[in-house]
A and B are shown apart, each in its own frame.
Chain A
Amino acid sequence: MDVTFFFGALVLYVVGTVAYLLLLSVKGTRLSRLATAATTGGFILHTLALLVRLVAAGRLPPRNTYEALSVFAWATVLVYLGLEFRFQRKVMGAFILPIVLLTTTAAASLPKGPAGLNPALTSTWVWMHVTLILLGNAALALTCGVGLMYLLQERQLKSKSLGAISHRLPSLDFLDGLSHRTLLVGFPLLTAGLITGALQAQAAWGRFLTWDPTQALSLITWVMYAGLLQARLTAGWRGRKAALLAIVGFGSLLVAFVGVSVLLGHPHAGN
């Protein structure tokens, strides 16, 4: 049942992503409505999928990698829809929905059944650790999407050839501000997630750090984001460099999160 809802959501996200991407080059009120409607519909099915799983298991997801990715995508869509509603800027969808699609597709390819449950994830602390990191990831995914938009608009302005895409993208000021605000939300969540993870590791293995690849990469990622925030707040960093670093940071986050947990058989592997 929940898997059916999940795949329904996936199909609608595909429709939404394609519609948002098309909106970059064509004008159309119907297409624009379709993009939002498909994404909202996908989000509702996605919520149902998570709810059904919650009721069946009697406790909150995520409990395995599939659910983790699913919750991450869900949170990203939630924040994105909020932003679209707030700013009425559909163009952001073209840069954020592809990230959602990527993670939902990755989740779809993983084993979903209760058999794949990770016993370690039954602890409330571990659940806290995972959930905080997922929410942080969702906010930082937006920082990345907004950063991509910034780089595109900046390139258009610097090269002095303004294409059709430049008319649809928001101003640099708006994008840089949004990038900063999403970072201000995402970074503390990520930090809290990492701290709960370390405390958990201390309790389970007697060490804060076991230096498994996920931990190592997460730490590097955290240092990058910390540097970015520090540079923004004290050195007045902004614009292109900040956008670039936000994109690199998110790339490393994805590798830590998706790559390592899927590929390696470790406590962090989850399945």
Chain B
Amino acid sequence: MVILTVGLNHTTAPVEIRERLHISDRQLPAVLERLGQEPAVLERMVLSTCNRVEVYAVTQDPAQAEAAIPELLAEGTQTPLALFADRLYRHHQEAAVRHAFRVAASLDSMVLGESEILGQVKTAYQVALAQEATGPILNALMTRTLGVAKKVRTETGIGESPVSVPSAAVELAKKIFGELSGRRVLILGAGEMAELAARHLRGEGVQAVLVAHRQFDRAVELAARLEGRAVRFDQIREELREADIVVSSTAAPHYLLHRADMEELIRLRRNRPLFLIDIAVPRDVDPAVNEIDNIYLYDIDDLEGVASVHRLERQQEAAHAELLIEREVASFMRWLKSLDVVPTIVTLRRRLEEIRETELAKALDRLPNLNPEQQAVVRTLAHGIINKVLHYPTTELKRQSVNRDGLLYVNVLRRLFGLQDDDR
């Protein structure tokens, strides 16, 4: 029995190919169904996100399964196999287990440490589970995978600091103001990035969002989208006195806010802190404003700088995560090995032979007058019983081992005969 992963991701295939192979939630049951009709595939699960399409399978015939899965993917998504065949990677056993752990722990993600993937893996597993597409091995693998991913998040700092520009802005705002609920945000201009930053801040519970634009109708438009209020551009002096966070992204060719004005402003504000986010290019705020006490000015490069430092931190944390995952892979492989049929049969036979030898020794002890021929008969008798008893279970176990239920038999046998600790 072999665990197999076949798939492609953002490193092996461009988005044009990934989007064609994407399997929507609606298509997923049909694809799982179709994979189930392939006799070589005993257990199966499909993970399809915008950055990867992967099939996890358990098979007794890896060569056949490896050949069949891409064809089924091509058929299921109506994409010619030739378009993506050379983009596929295939992982077996240990490598497949490691891959599953790394994917769920977000070590294989485009944005290292992002948290979305864990939810996507969980959903993919639940869909497969509901359709009874998984079996004991994939169930065990997925349970472990989700556990490992959680462990990586709590024990390393991989998801700790924000790595995108808008989320870095939110983090900085929290370092200045603590809780953001009840704070006022003023937006100058109407860039896409400004809107994104405003949405992030809204998500943190800021109380009011005000939008000012030289064209008032555009301010009204953006304010409507952000559930905020539009203000006239000539009123921004007054609004600046009340705001806590200002996001500036106007198309002005010169500085809009100068040092002298801002010094006056902070005096009028009685030193209430002000966070200025200047994402306009060319910039709206004179960089010297940052030198004023209680004003914190970040331009687009500063925010990008903060985000990139955090990306570096995540890479360092990823090294810890890899170590943790290696330990978990080794532990999972030990468990998997204990489920093999052959070692189970060998252990069972050894157990019965031990019993035979002990009982024989006792019996022969009590019959001191037997001649060698009689002794040989007794021995053969004992031998024969063991062999006869073992014959049927052995063949049945081997036969079942290629089926999905094989594991169940192995488990029951190990439990019934107390073989759990024998091969440690």
Contact = CB atoms under 8 A, between A and B. Distances in A.
Given A158-B290, A238-B271, A27 B157 contact: yes
B175 A153 contact: yes
A38 B145 CA distance: 38
Interface in A217-248: 235-241
B294 interface: yes
B84 interface: no
A173 B178 contact: yes
Given A160-B305, A164-B313, A173-B176, 15 more contacts: A157-B296, A158-B290, A158-B296, A160-B298, A160-B306, A162-B161, A166-B175, A167-B160, A171-B177, A171-B178, A172-B175, A173-B178, A237-B271, A238-B294, A241-B293
Given A160-B305, A173-B177, A167 B296 contact: no
Given A160-B306, A170-B178, A172-B176, A239 B298 contact: no
Nearest to A153: B175
B273 A239 contact: yes
A173 B271 CA distance: 12
A89 to B, nearest CB: 11
Given A172-B176, A240-B293, A167 B273 contact: no
A85 interface: no
B237 interface: no
B334 interface: no
A100 B87 CA distance: 63
Contact of B176 (A171, A235, A236, A241): A171
Interface in B292-324: 293-294, 296, 298, 302, 305-306, 309, 313
Contacts of A27: 157
Nearest to A157: B296
Contacts of A166: 175
A239 B178 contact: no
Interface in B170-184: 172, 174-178
A109 interface: no
B270 interface: yes
Interface residues of A, number: 23
Interface residues of B, number: 23
Given A173-B178, A237-B271, A238-B294, A157 B160 contact: no
A167 B271 CA distance: 24
B306 A171 contact: no
A171 B302 contact: no
A172 B296 CA distance: 11
Contacts of A161: 305, 309
Interface of B: 157, 160-161, 172, 174-178, 270-273, 290, 293-294, 296, 298, 302, 305-306, 309, 313
Interface of A: 27, 153, 157-158, 160-162, 164, 166-167, 169-174, 235-241
B175 A171 contact: yes
7 contacts: A157-B296, A160-B306, A167-B161, A172-B177, A238-B294, A239-B273, A239-B294
A235 B290 CA distance: 22
B302 to A, nearest CB: 5
Contact of B270 (A158, A160, A170, A236): A236
Contacts of B290: 158
B306 A162 contact: yes
A242 B172 CA distance: 22
A235 B296 CA distance: 21
A178 B109 CA distance: 41
A88 to B, nearest CB: 14
Contacts of A238: 271, 294
Contacts of B296: 157-158
Contacts of B270: 235-236
**3 closest pairs, A vs B, by CB?**
A236-B270, A171-B178, A173-B178
A172 B271 CA distance: 13
A157 B302 CA distance: 11
Contacts of B175: 153, 157, 162, 166, 169, 171-172
Contacts of A239: 271, 273, 293-294
Contacts of A169: 175
Nearest to A161: B309
Contacts of A172: 175-177, 273
B154 to A, nearest CB: 10
